[in-house]
A and B are shown apart, each in its own frame.
Chain A
Amino acid sequence: MAEGLGTRRGDDLRAFTMLAAMWVRVSWTYRASFLVMTAASLVITGIDFVAILVMFGNVDALGGFGLGEVAFLYGATATCLGLADLVVGNVERLGRQVRLGQVDAMMVRPVGLLAQVCAHEFALRRLGRIAQGAAVLAWSLTVVHVAWDPARVAMLGSLVACGTAIFVGLFVLGAAFQFVSSDASEVANAFTYGGNAMTQYPLTIYPTEVVKALTFLVPVAFVNWYPALFILDVPDPLGLPDWLRFAAPVAAVVVCSLAALGWRAGVRRYRSTGS
């Protein structure tokens, strides 16, 4: 196992790309269906934002933030979730693959299990969610006032990278739990889609204890909230320390490391199906 870990990672990535490309070609065969599903994914994920617009039809601020700022938070978290969902979203179907015995077949192939599970039936239509999130994010940037400087541009790039990494980690952690209980895929939704739903709003709408839990326990606050405080130049309304707004990379590394450990523990625990 230990020999040439670096090359193995590279092989996995190459295998993932090839398998994903194959599934893209498969879905492109049914072109009309692919386009309809992508459009549907765009509209369905957009409903959340229309709901926020309806709320803003009744109020002019949520938790002290206006529509532009909320749209920025919404667009940022939606883009990150969309990117993570595109790459590793398929792991949430691990339980089903365990039940169908497909994981056994994957285990004997000379490619990493995670790469295979993620690439299996790779769904390019998830671009719909990314497009929708990115559109809201782009629109919000025309509304809110940001004093752009190199640090803020870099922070926006880091927001997308670290936010995506945090959601990737949460997806994989949730899938690792399905080695324990293959029916319980919905528990993971509470952290991935739930984390996305939580961070669509300014965290000022939650009690301080909840914000602390979202910072230190399930660190989705680092996906968009702390970077946004820096980009929009807003003092932390909850009075938490200022260095937190630069800590997203740390949170991403911690979540992804835990996910890697969790995944390994899950694979070791795997006892095939039917027993």
Chain B
Amino acid sequence: MLYAAVAMSSFRRYATYTAATLAGIFTNSVFGVIISFAYIAVWRQNPDAGGYDVTDAVTYCWLAQAMIMTVAIWNGGTTDDVAERIRTGDVAIDLYRPVSLLGWFLAGDLGRAAYHLLTRGVAPTVVGALLFDLRFPANPLTWLAFLLSVALGVVVSFGIRMLVASSAFWLLDQTGMLSLSAVFAMFFSGLAVPLVLFPEPFRSVVLALPWSAYVQVPIDIWLGQRHGPGVLGGLAFQAGWGAVLLLACAALLRVADRKVVVQGG
């Protein structure tokens, strides 16, 4: 299976940088501690803010740290390779390969995400569980739904990052768009603060935006805030955004395809 091989080699590529991984885990854990105490202070004042109790809130904080690299909230991943290849013109080679460009890099990104989930996802969560009282799902089905939800979160994030990277076909440099998309991702994913804390008209809006698929939806499944049909609704919400974004990427690539000029060709 070609795409599985691409995902596997991407997994191994990211697994090379052990020191960077350990350093990242340390930093995520430090931020996890800081934010935990901030949330504890908020929920001490208002014990059911946003429909969470304090254990939910602290668990949310650590899972959000676990998601930073896994879902690539601050960008990165294989889409950075795409942008660089567009800038240098190497993308021309990718475009005439007998495989879908989108499928190739999505498989690579899922391999990357698997590595980051197992290291920078699991390790800070273990640290958090040692230091604080966290909530873990009791039902094996919830675990399964959570994993599926994280994978769908990666697909949605890939779709948005790929759109940003494709802007390099026209702008040559994705840096400006990248910082813009980082602002949206950090704030609307629920990394900066749980989306359930937003005051009402905004809360419904941000929960409907694709970025909530990064952090808020998977964590609500983990916490049991979504149960039964709510879980399926959350997964369908993510899958829907994922499909829309991937279709948009495919359409954009078709347009860009006609635009690529190989130097000297």
Contacts and interface: CB of A to CB of B under 8 A. Distances in A.
Contacts of A206: 37
A261 interface: no
Contacts of A181: 19, 23
A265 interface: no
Contact of A57 (B41, B187, B199): B199
Interface of B: 17-20, 22-24, 26-27, 30-31, 34-35, 37-38, 40-42, 45-46, 49-50, 173, 175-176, 179-180, 182-183, 186-187, 192-193, 197-199
Given A55-B197, A58-B197, A194-B34, A40 B23 contact: no
A36 B18 CA distance: 35
Given A50-B187, A51-B193, A183 B20 contact: yes
Given A50-B192, A197-B34, A197-B35, 11 more contacts: A36-B176, A37-B179, A40-B183, A44-B183, A58-B46, A58-B50, A184-B22, A186-B23, A187-B27, A189-B27, A205-B40
Given A37-B179, A44-B186, A186-B23, A62 B193 contact: no
Contact of A58 (B27, B30, B42, B180): B42
Interface residues of A, number: 36
Contacts of A57: 197-199
Contacts of A50: 187, 192
A194 B35 CA distance: 10
Given A58-B49, A205-B38, A184 B198 contact: no
Among the interface residues A37, A40, A63, A184, which one has the most CB atoms of the partner chain B within 10 A? A184
A221 B186 CA distance: 27
Contact of A59 (B49, B176, B187): B49
B27 A190 contact: yes
Given A40-B176, A54-B193, A47 B187 contact: yes
A33 interface: yes
Given A44-B179, A183-B19, A59 B46 contact: yes
A189 B28 CA distance: 10
B173 to A, nearest CB: 8
Given A40-B176, A62-B42, A48 B192 contact: yes
Contacts of A44: 179, 182-183, 186
